[in-house]
Structure 1
Amino acid sequence: MPHQLLNNLLNFIREHFLFDPSQKILLAVSGGVDSMVMASLFKEAGLLAGIAHCNFQLREEESVRDENFVRNLAEKLEMPFHETRFDTEAYATSNKVSIQIAARELRYQWLEEIRSTNGYAYIATAHHLQDSVETALMNFVKGTGIAGLHGILPKTDKIIRPLLFAEKDTLLAWAARRQLTFVEDSSNATDKYTRNFFRHHVIPMMQESMPAAVKNMAASIEKMKEAEILYQEALGRHKKSLLTQQGENWLIPVLKLQKSVPLQTIAWEIFREFGCTSNQLPQVLNLLESESGRYVETSTHRVIRNRAWLMITPVQADESPVVAISEEQSHVHFGGGQLQFRTIEKQHAGSIPQSADVAWLDASQVVFPLILRKWKQGDYFYPLGMRKKKKLSRFFIDQKLSIPQKEQVWVLESQKRILWIVGMRIDDRAKVLPSTSEIISIQLQK
């Protein structure tokens, strides 16, 4: 008669649509009790599976012991065996990450490689109920919001966790009943890592005052999963109502966001996707009351108050490219598009084009090579029709340019004198006059 744990496993796989019994599963087995029980259960259930083991070479003889132990298990269960060794410390150093992150990245990259090249449908890890509770509790303490409180999910992409329903004691009881031997990772006994601190101190203390603490928290986690579905649905509606995309930029109407309830949560969920931290959120919300032009810069974006809107725009890398243009060039490609140059005899020219994307300049005022560059503070020119010079920063205010638009402005200069604010206005000193004999025509294609 099948053991209750085996029935529970099969029910859990069915209820959560983890996989079809005809599919082959790659079991990640460390040699610890959880993964050993998982492999044993899959064998007894008659499910198709192979075993994969990673040696991170962090614990010398212990690592080799675990590797041999898991290889022997694979032989005993008559399952295909896949193994690898990593230089985890070298990877951590070269990628500037902790040993724990290095081990995780190496493990999952390799497991996915084995899965995809050997016909396995999914990778199974042996996370159990207490692992999920520990994760939710750690996330609660870190303040990750509702998404962190669902604990570990039964299925994410190609990774499944078929033992999430089981308590640790149940797995230990199965191992004893089946006389399964397993190895203990010595690092699990230390409090060096945060999870172990929760495992060895926080949860046992909670269980002292409430023995059913883990079960109760697991029930709360299930409720959180369902609450999160409703939360995401409502959030989706708010985002659709508030966010409008314009090319690379996003716009949010200030008044509409101010009236959104609950404001803090909606704002956090929107702006965190644009690199905003929880510490920056109050600064972003202050923009709702500020004057136009104020902004908050996150790690990836800038949130700008622009009249009745908040504009979210990517932070441009400060490339500050400079393009030198010789007299022979007829086409020039640059960050703002393409410029096309040609020389026209004045007598054959016709009337001056009205488009801002075309500049006609008096050839006698143009000395090559020309310099094409982004504008900078302190730049000035004589706007067409004016006898007085004007700073570009002032000109942009008159033109009602937003900060992202200003960042995209290029200028064309000759002998350190601006001839054209590309796509906007030429300099009065370079305009075509009745005395002009030759015209340089420049056309912008964005």
Structure 2
Amino acid sequence: MPQHLVANFSAYITQHKLFDPTQKVLLAVSGGVDSIVMAHLFKQAGYQVGIAHCNFQLRGEESVRDEQFVQQLAVSLTLPLHTVKFDTQAYVTENRVAIQVAARELRYNWLEQVRAAEGYAYIATAHHMQDSVETALMNFSKGTGIAGLHGILPKQERIIRPLLFTEKDMLVAYASFYNIPFVEDSSNITDKYTRNYFRHHIIPQLQEVFPSAVKNMAATIEKMKEAEILYQEAITKHRKRLLFSKDNTWMVPVLKLQHSVPLQTIAWELFREFGCSPAQTQQVLGLLDSESGRYVETATHRIIRNRQWLLITPTPTLDAPLVVIEASQPNIHFGGGQLHLRQQERGTANIPTAPEVAWLDAKQVSFPLILRRWKQGDYFYPLGMPKKKKLSRFLIDQKLSLPQKENVWVLESAKRIVWVLGMRVDDRAKITPATKEMLCIEFSK
């Protein structure tokens, strides 16, 4: 019954610990029946609240009407009012987003600003049971996985939804029973928005077959919320045994993943955090039986088969620019680390050797030097070898993974490579008994 709605409303808030009754709550009120009834319920229950209304200026006189209506509501309920006008179309143009996205971003950003500035503990929105069911059905249709099937959550950070316990019909009945006026948003009538299509067509057809479809689905959603807790606990355990981090790379052991059960679900949860879509998850699983070097590129990362591992690295950015090094520059900072250069006489002491240090015959090096990433077609004469070798072949022999290859830098002098940084000096620039002056270059990441 409509008259029991206030008691059920307060019970739901207490059951889900949405907020402490001593705290203030900011109500997002549009003027529609849902938010208007929510404002009356908060007032009747005796909670400390204020009203916030956004005018998106998208529906001409109707937008003005809604704002004036909410102003009158605040006066009649003797509640504080906060209003704002947005140039939503300008925001759409500037940020290249859909109108719905623009309105949502503008609304929630502003509501949070008001909440923080005016001392409200939470922001309350008027999402009800049907809204939650619509969300779950849309997520199910899009294939978002189990996380999308819990519908709308009662509480997320500073946002609370205290009407999720009740159906839309009950809110309309409450407004009718107590003669509470409200306004209708004409944009809710059109089917061009996905949610409206589900609201006007999908759910009514389900209710023709199952009259209690919304309540039944809402009850299932509650079960899904609890099942998701167990699910996430299991996924966390699989992540710990399958996902390892080293430097800027995540690593997944191929054999362990192949023997994981259930494989499809674990793979989806493992790789979706790296921009992997459901279709791409199947491609990633295909890497388990492929040779080294094959990869799948997602929106944000590259997943590469490298021997017994899948390596996950951020998608490579554009090639780094060339770095020109003059003789007067002893210290160079670049995308791959830094170089320290110094010249000294040959002397008679033994020269210490280390991969990160190059000792070059100063006579064989001419400035300016060029520092750049390696590219296909590069070649050099590896120290101790009389014949030239393609750098791509040299890197294969060094058993480097694709991400490691992409981070290899070379140093050029007079259009020839004199050093593959951190790996090998060119034989033509090496120190010999005839060397009188040496150029020492130290590389550090």
Return the letter of the residue paired with 1:360. Answer: W
What is the 5 A alignment of 1:272-311?
272-311=272-311
The one-letter code of the counterpart of 1:221 is I
Q: How far does the alpha carbon of each residue in 1:262-299 deviate from its partner, in whole angstroms, 9 at most, with x for none?
A: 10110011111111111212211111001111111111
> Which SS does the other structure have where 1:139 is aligned?
helix
SS of residue in 1 equivalent to 2:54: strand
**Equivalent residue letter for 2:394:** F
Partner secondary structure for residue 324 of structure 1: strand
CA distance in 2, matches of 1:314, 1:249: 8
> Counterpart of 1:371?
370
How far the C-alpha of 1:406 sits from its partner, in A, is 0.6
Which amino acid in the other structure matches residue 372 of structure 1?
Answer: L
Alignment match, 1:432:
431
Following superposition of structure 1 onto structure 2, how do residues 230-241 of structure 1 map, counting pairs within 5 Å? 230-241=230-241
Q: Distance in 1 between matches of 2:253 and 2:282?
A: 18
**C-alpha displacement of 1:172:** 1.2
User: After TM superposition, which residue ranges in structure 1, 4 or more long, deviate above 3 angstroms?
Assistant: none
**CA-atom RMSD, angstroms?**
1.1
1:445: which partner in 2?
A: 444
Counterpart Cα distance in 2 of 1:305 and 1:22: 56
Counterpart CA distance in 2 for 1:312 and 1:350 is: 45
In 2, distance between residues paired with 1:335 and 1:353? 27
Deviation at 1:320, TM superposition (A): 2.3
Q: What SS class does the counterpart of residue 191 from structure 1 fall into?
A: coil
In structure 1, list runs of 5 or more residues that go unmatched.
none
Is 2:319–2:373's contact at 8 Å kept on the other side of the alignment?
no
1:316-364 deviation per Cα after TM superposition (whole angstroms, max 9, x unaligned): 21132210000111111111211111110112x6212211111110010
1:291 & 1:193 partners in 2: Cα distance?
Answer: 45
SS of the residue 1:279 aligns to: helix
Match of 2:405 in 1: 406
Matched, 1:181 2:181: yes
Distance (whole Å) between structure 1 residues aligned to residue 206 and residue 101 of structure 2: 28
Q: How does 1:41-440 map to 2 (within 5 A)?
A: 41-347=41-347, 350-440=349-439
Contact 2:320 2:335 in 1 (8 A): no
> Contact 2:33 / 2:171 at 8 angstroms: preserved in 1?
yes
- The residue type equivalent to 1:352 in the other structure is I
Note the residue ranges of structure 2 that are not aligned, 5 or more in a row. none
Amino acid of the structure 1 residue aligned with 2:352: P
Aligned residues: 444
Give the secondary structure class of the aligned counterpart of 2:211.
coil
CA distance in 2, matches of 1:162, 1:56: 24
The amino acid that maps onto 1:81 is L
- After superposition, give the CA deviation of every residue in 1:388-430 in whole Å (9 maximum; x if it has no partner): 0001100011111111111111100101010100111100000
Alpha-carbon offset, residue 145 of structure 1: 1.3
The percent identity for this pair of structures is 68
Once the two structures are TM-superposed, the CA of residue 202 in structure 1 deviates from its matched residue by 1.2
Question: Which has the larger displacement, 190-199 or 360-369?
Answer: 190-199
Q: For 1:83-130, what per-residue CA distance to the aligned partner results, in whole angstroms no more than 9, with x for missing partners?
A: 001111111121111111111111111111111111010100000011
